[in-house]
Structure 1
């Protein structure tokens, strides 16, 4: 391992690593090796859904596509889409613009209010290497992309590309969400008009992620294990890989497929579906040799929207997205980790 003085990472993630390493007495906390593992895991292909069968196929093809999607959402919580309607040219343009954005000097990204001040890096609340994410991101509210006050600096073409990507991913997200909801409600003419409740172009987010090459990859998360606090996420990733998810109580590595979009179920959809669909824990592992880029669209409702249910009885009490977010933030601050849906069970689990 190189000496700290020889390491220059933009953003200065090595400084966070060094501080946490010292606070842990010069070594990794005892639980970390099993959580942050460089061991070779089983590499899996996610269930693949041809979305073209849903949007342009006959009735039999549409049903088969919807059934496969619901099965993957129940058994995996993740699946990948082909023929999704988002052009390869647009995704490649987004990747080029994203690479230009993350290559800006750290001081520019951190202090200039770029993209509505949405820049974040590392994890300022981390008290252990188990809580440190070796990554940076712009987590941009869609509503701000088109606002005149949103600063894009010298990246004049970025705004238009982000708008196009957000609109394209929004179509995918809403198609998938409506299809999955219809499978549970039994509505033959599509999902109820109110689903997902309170989600529109003013409430969702586009997140541009970069995972820098990490000299401590064996001991470091690119993104700590978590579930997503939304209805669902649509992810475009590059060829590098690094996404791991929990399947049958063990971690598996997802084989990257750059031409496909990945969809994963979020906590709100699990609650709405009465646990029929699964919000699955996942993480990103750090890479020692190369950067990884990804872009994610988060289908989120307004903060005052009730999450609701596909039918009673529901195991969860009524709650709004705002309540959920506040409780997640409170738990992370006080315990160092997200607890999530168990907080909202009508009959809490006995510890």
Structure 2
């Protein structure tokens, strides 16, 4: 299926066009939890450069990738493959990824010592892409906040660039067998912005069924995360999604996650509240505990207000 497609150039075409564009963004976030944007202001050149650097990174040996924290100054555990929590084969994710906190690549990023490192080019490209995606995320989050009567400055105050993450994904081919590149899940953030290649694989739940998303090389895919659903009191939807593998082609994508500080309190002003107040730290710790104990994330249902 085609996701709702929104032309962000409409935001600069006059009051009526701007308001209609904002309504489309809010409507898609309520009805789908996903949408895609074009004319987003991020050049295809920089996104393709990022893709090329990503491919080169994943072509390194397993030993080199496992030592990425030392080679690239990433935090320990940034390189991930498979599903460490899987208890059976069908729970195993057929993929590998670098999940990088942006504070890692911005720390001393312009220092002479950093510039002399052999992997400086990758970090430099990551900073350019992350900065552009962060600015886009802030713009979209402010629009969504405005449409539910929240302060549009909330995200500028709580979601700093260095609190957010960028994730580089590779999904190898999986011949002759159906499998998940990434298991069904929701995102533990406010907003996710995805740049994917032309290999289909992303799927989401719509009307209780899994539907495949048709790749659009000119668009970025946006989806609502758990924190936004709680903060909007369920107006915007964090929708379950997954990635399925291709039998002959590998798939690459880059995802940006707009996150607050760990001490940020997530609370909705609407009554009655669907979810109790919680900090981002509480949410992440609960997710980690559930994954460790039962093998998968439970998510927002852990934070529902109990009426019994």
TM bucket, shorter chain: over 0.9
Corresponding residue number in structure 2 for 1:48? 5
Deviation at 1:299, TM superposition (A): 0.4
Task: Tell me which of 17, 22, 32 is aligned to 1:76.
Answer: 32
- What is the number of equivalent residue pairs in this alignment? 300
Q: TM-score, normalised by structure 2?
A: 0.93
Q: TM-score, normalised by structure 1?
A: 0.82
Give me the CA root mean square deviation: 1.9
Corresponding residue number in structure 2 for 1:171? 135
Corresponding residue number in structure 2 for 1:287? 246
Distance 1:216 1:128, change over 3 A: farther
Corresponding residue number in structure 1 for 2:120? 156
Corresponding residue number in structure 2 for 1:334? 293
For 2:142 and 2:116, the matched residues in 1 are separated by: 33
For 1:72 and 1:80, the matched residues in 2 are separated by: 9
Kept in 2: contact 1:217–1:285 (CA 8 A): no
Corresponding residue number in structure 2 for 1:248? 207
Kept in 1: contact 2:106–2:162 (CA 8 A): no
Task: Tell me which of 129, 132, 139 is aligned to 2:89.
Answer: 129
Q: Structure 2 unaligned runs (5+)?
A: none
For 1:265 and 1:168, the matched residues in 2 are separated by: 18
1:93-119: CA deviations, max 9, x gaps? 111111111111111001352431311
Kept in 2: contact 1:76–1:247 (CA 8 A): yes
271-280 vs 142-151, which moves further: 142-151
Kept in 2: contact 1:76–1:278 (CA 8 A): yes
Kept in 1: contact 2:85–2:296 (CA 8 A): no
Does the residue aligned with 1:195 lie in a helix, a strand or coil?
Answer: helix
1:218-272: CA deviations, max 9, x gaps? 1x21000000000010000000010000000000000000210000000000001
Counterparts of residues 257-276 of structure 1 (less than 5 Å): 257-276=216-235
Corresponding residue number in structure 2 for 1:36? none
Corresponding residue number in structure 2 for 1:320? 279
Greater Rg over alpha carbons, structure:
1
Deviation at 1:155, TM superposition (A): 3.1
Q: Structure 1 unaligned runs (5+)?
A: 1-43
Deviation at 1:147, TM superposition (A): 2.3
Distance 1:323 1:196, change over 3 A: farther
Q: Does 1:214 align with 2:170?
A: no
Kept in 1: contact 2:171–2:245 (CA 8 A): yes
For 1:87 and 1:171, the matched residues in 2 are separated by: 14
Corresponding residue number in structure 1 for 2:57? 101
For 1:241 and 1:152, the matched residues in 2 are separated by: 38
Distance 1:224 1:179, change over 3 A: same
Distance 1:196 1:317, change over 3 A: farther
Does the residue aligned with 1:157 lie in a helix, a strand or coil?
Answer: helix
For 1:67 and 1:199, the matched residues in 2 are separated by: 23
For 1:234 and 1:259, the matched residues in 2 are separated by: 14
For 2:263 and 2:177, the matched residues in 1 are separated by: 40
1:161-184: CA deviations, max 9, x gaps? 101100110011011100011000
Task: Tell me which of 41, 45, 49 is aligned to 1:89.
Answer: 45
For 2:187 and 2:236, the matched residues in 1 are separated by: 13
For 1:310 and 1:68, the matched residues in 2 are separated by: 23
Does the residue aligned with 2:278 lie in a helix, a strand or coil?
Answer: coil
For 1:76 and 1:203, the matched residues in 2 are separated by: 26
Distance 1:112 1:202, change over 3 A: closer
Kept in 2: contact 1:205–1:298 (CA 8 A): yes
